[in-house]
Structure 1
Amino acid sequence: MIEWNDEQRSLQEAFARWHADLSADHIDLDRQGGFSWEKWEMIRQSGILRLPFDEEWGGMGQDLLTTMGVLETLGYGCRNGGINFSVSTHIVSAGVPIQRFGSRPLKERFLPRICDGSAIGAHAITESGSGSDAMSMQTKAVADGDHYRLNGSKTFVSNGPVAEQFVVYARTNPALGAWGVTAFVVERGTPGLTVGQPIDKMGLRNSPLCELFFDDCRVPAGNVIGKPGLGFSILDYVMKWEILCSFVINVGEMQHRMERCVDYARSRRQFNQPIGSFQSVANKIVDMKIGTETARNWLYSTARRFLANGNVTVDIAIAKLLASESNFASAVNAVQIFGGNGYMTEYGLEKDLRNATAGTIYSGTSEVQRNRIAKMLGL
């Protein structure tokens, strides 16, 4: 269990003051779909995007654990799962790789706007023929003087329709396999880059995604993050942050959902008694409690080991698997506990279930995580 110090608790409380406004109209916004610039402006004003970045670039200089604590609080207090997901994507996918691996000129150009949220960030990994198997990507980048020419396409780019800068992974030397992948910062409006239309989807409907198309897109060599061929290492680092930060938001959502079910089970009466007195209902809430605490403990313990430079390959896979599947099970149980009310959109629980489904797919499907764990066991 994490014991937060006074400064960390103060940060969590300060950001919590924004939760009511961020949650307002969340059901209507989900029904409409699309990105809410009004909510994003609140996110910008809250300062949450500054958390893990160095003060030199306008950040708050907080460590991973502190950042996760605030993001868990966001999940607990903000009912708009889409905006929560866009926050995590912006911080982790676009900001973290530049801060950790980028040159000083790259940091000077991009991090201040990432910190203040004036330029939304996204990353482009997935392709139509490569999902969890990211290393089968076909997008290529060929050196051309002091530029690279990118050709190919990406899909399921979260934040893509509203992003100003993309971290794009492309093959620069196919013969080297994973070590022939390079990460680039590509700015919106770069000639040869086409940003596709938003793709309608099942959940997280206020976090838009799209396709990107590269047709002899010329990107300055100075926009390479780290060095050519370092893309796989960068992606591995970013994915650890992505799993820890995005799924700790889900832990906050699970905690809120469980507490809501406890209140409902105490107040809702059938057959002259609270429904919580029925073992079948109580057991569902117990399962929600176990899932929430187990996911929380795995995520934070994995983060500690990651910060200590430990090998967290298996830990990350287990944490992702536990958090995503516990969140899905929690959402199913909540709909069942609320019965007919849970099935109605006005209660927001069917929206939670649609959102939770995505977590078992993105950042490596549940099946891929199980395969990874089995491989590390020598199977």
Structure 2
Amino acid sequence: MDFDWTEPQRARYHDTLTAVREAFADDADETSAEAAAGTYDRKDWLLLGQLGLLGPSVPEGYGGGGLGALDTALQVEALGRGCTRTGLVFGASAHLFACAMPIVDFGSQEVKRRVLPGMCRGELIAGNAMTEDEAGSDVSRLAVTARRVEGGWVLDGEKSFVSNGPAADVYVTYATTDPKAGHLGVTGFVVDRTAAGVTAGEPMAKMGLSQCPAGTVRFDGCFVPDSDVLGEPGQGGVIFQHSMGWERACLFAGYVGLADRLIDLSVAQVRSRRQFGRRISEFQAVSHRIADMKLRVESARLLLYRACWEMDERRPATLAIALSKLAVSEGVVTAALDAVRLFGGRGYLRAGRIEAALRDAVPAVIFSGTSDIQRELIARELGI
């Protein structure tokens, strides 16, 4: 059993981290709440495309990097550590794992050639339109419907909390095609924003991940040709869970990167901050808090790497992925709270951007399956 990175992995991580820090160096100088809260723009997206961070797991033939799950996760981890705008990291990861990968694995050749190269280059932004107001954790009862017509399908209904939704050029969405079949009656579709009957709502005001716009997407008699169906009719539930495997494993590598950054910042803070005539790092309560931060992130990192390794080995990875997602999401929230405490009053100020990490971390225990859903999956895999 080898826990060390290969030289190519080490070099890719270092090069990506350096490139991201250089590309987004100006972010470190942002001190106003308004500047830090602004959504990304097309320039940011194209820059990520130039860095190869919008398609590392997409096959090279479609413009991607051709990497496996573990090597992709290392790239996302470097992005999360080097970029202080976690909302941008999240938006890019949702674009890749919840949208590009279902197209890679289940899309027709026509739709792959049409959208994947542009998605990898950053010319297209993709939004994952699954969640509805009454269908969050239970995605087998979607109110959005698709009825069969000659040459395709007609979609009707509204999706909510669509990450990248207000900015997206293309949506990966899911609709009920057979109400009596439960999760076997759901079908996946690729829908262009310019299609007749598609309306994207305004960005929602959110607690965190503010750089990633999220909103509603409505379909009113929207025609989707058969070529833009993902897989076969009725496979939508399986396809969505497949994409969630990628998202729950690789997307959360960005949060491992965020936790690493918080530890770096916290160590620098306690070494320089003095109280009662000495550095606060000399107080055991402080040093032990950072030790616990390190323990949580390294434990989560190992679980995440294990999940990605099992994916690459084509092994059943449901248990490993659920353990990984739970450990990373809960761990990064605790790490962010620890960082706020270590920075004290400065950690509570928006100018310091430490509090932003906490707001960005909280949603991690909700999206891609809540922590309670992960515990249910773990219990089910254990036969309980």
User: How far off its partner does 1:37 sit?
Assistant: 2.7
TM alignment of 1:104-143, pairs within 5 A: 104-143=109-148
Using the TM superposition, name which of 19-28 and 139-148 deviates more: 19-28
Using the TM superposition, name which of 16-25 and 40-49 deviates more: 16-25
Structure 1 counterpart of 2:302, from 270, 274, 297 = 297
User: How far off its partner does 1:42 sit?
Assistant: 1.7
Deviations 1:232-257 (A, max 9, x none): 11111100100112111110110111
Partner of 2:5: 4
SS in 1 for 2:90: helix
Partner of 2:175: 170
User: How far off its partner does 1:32 sit?
Assistant: 4.1
Using the TM superposition, name which of 203-212 and 96-105 deviates more: 96-105
1:284 maps to a residue whose letter is: R
TM alignment of 1:315-326, pairs within 5 A: 315-326=320-331
User: How far off its partner does 1:265 sit?
Assistant: 1.3
Looking at structure 2, the residues matched to 69 and 47 of structure 1 have their Cα atoms a distance apart, in angstroms, of: 13
Q: Aligned pair in 2 of structure 1 residues 203, 30: CA closer, same or farther (>3 Å)?
A: farther
Deviations 1:13-49 (A, max 9, x none): 3322232332523554654432333322321221222
Using the TM superposition, name which of 42-51 and 25-34 deviates more: 25-34
Residue identity over aligned pairs, in percent, reads 38
Partner of 2:163: 158
Q: Using structure 1 for the length normalisation, give the TM-score.
A: 0.96
SS in 2 for 1:212: strand
1:328 maps to a residue whose letter is: V
Is the contact made by 2:248 and 2:325 (CA closer than 8 Å) also made in structure 1? yes
Looking at structure 2, the residues matched to 142 and 240 of structure 1 have their Cα atoms a distance apart, in angstroms, of: 28
TM alignment of 1:33-44, pairs within 5 A: 33-44=38-49
SS in 2 for 1:332: helix
Structure 2 counterpart of 1:308, from 313, 324, 327 = 313
Partner of 1:22: 24
Looking at structure 2, the residues matched to 130 and 30 of structure 1 have their Cα atoms a distance apart, in angstroms, of: 34
Q: Using structure 2 for the length normalisation, give the TM-score.
A: 0.95
Looking at structure 2, the residues matched to 32 and 73 of structure 1 have their Cα atoms a distance apart, in angstroms, of: 22
Partner of 2:240: 235
Q: Aligned pair in 2 of structure 1 residues 11, 140: CA closer, same or farther (>3 Å)?
A: same
Structure 2 counterpart of 1:180, from 176, 181, 185 = 185
Structure 1 gaps of 5+ residues are none
Partner of 1:221: 226
Structure 1 counterpart of 2:363, from 347, 358, 361 = 358
Partner of 1:95: 100
Looking at structure 2, the residues matched to 172 and 81 of structure 1 have their Cα atoms a distance apart, in angstroms, of: 36
Is the contact made by 2:100 and 2:116 (CA closer than 8 Å) also made in structure 1? yes
Is the contact made by 1:30 and 1:206 (CA closer than 8 Å) also made in structure 2? no
Partner of 2:272: 267
Using the TM superposition, name which of 233-242 and 366-375 deviates more: 366-375
Partner of 2:255: 250
Q: Aligned pair in 2 of structure 1 residues 332, 32: CA closer, same or farther (>3 Å)?
A: closer
1:121 maps to a residue whose letter is: A
Deviations 1:165-222 (A, max 9, x none): 1000111112111111111000001111111111111101000001011111111111
Q: What CA RMSD, in Å, does the superposition of the two structures yield over aligned residues?
A: 1.6
Is 1:195 equivalent to 2:200 in the alignment?
yes
Is the contact made by 1:20 and 1:78 (CA closer than 8 Å) also made in structure 2? no
Looking at structure 2, the residues matched to 104 and 371 of structure 1 have their Cα atoms a distance apart, in angstroms, of: 36
Looking at structure 2, the residues matched to 88 and 9 of structure 1 have their Cα atoms a distance apart, in angstroms, of: 21
Looking at structure 1, the residues matched to 68 and 376 of structure 2 have their Cα atoms a distance apart, in angstroms, of: 31
User: How far off its partner does 1:8 sit?
Assistant: 2.5
Using the TM superposition, name which of 152-161 and 52-61 deviates more: 52-61
Q: Aligned pair in 2 of structure 1 residues 56, 378: CA closer, same or farther (>3 Å)?
A: closer
Is 1:54 equivalent to 2:94 in the alignment?
no
Using the TM superposition, name which of 144-153 and 275-284 deviates more: 275-284
SS in 2 for 1:137: coil
Looking at structure 2, the residues matched to 248 and 242 of structure 1 have their Cα atoms a distance apart, in angstroms, of: 10
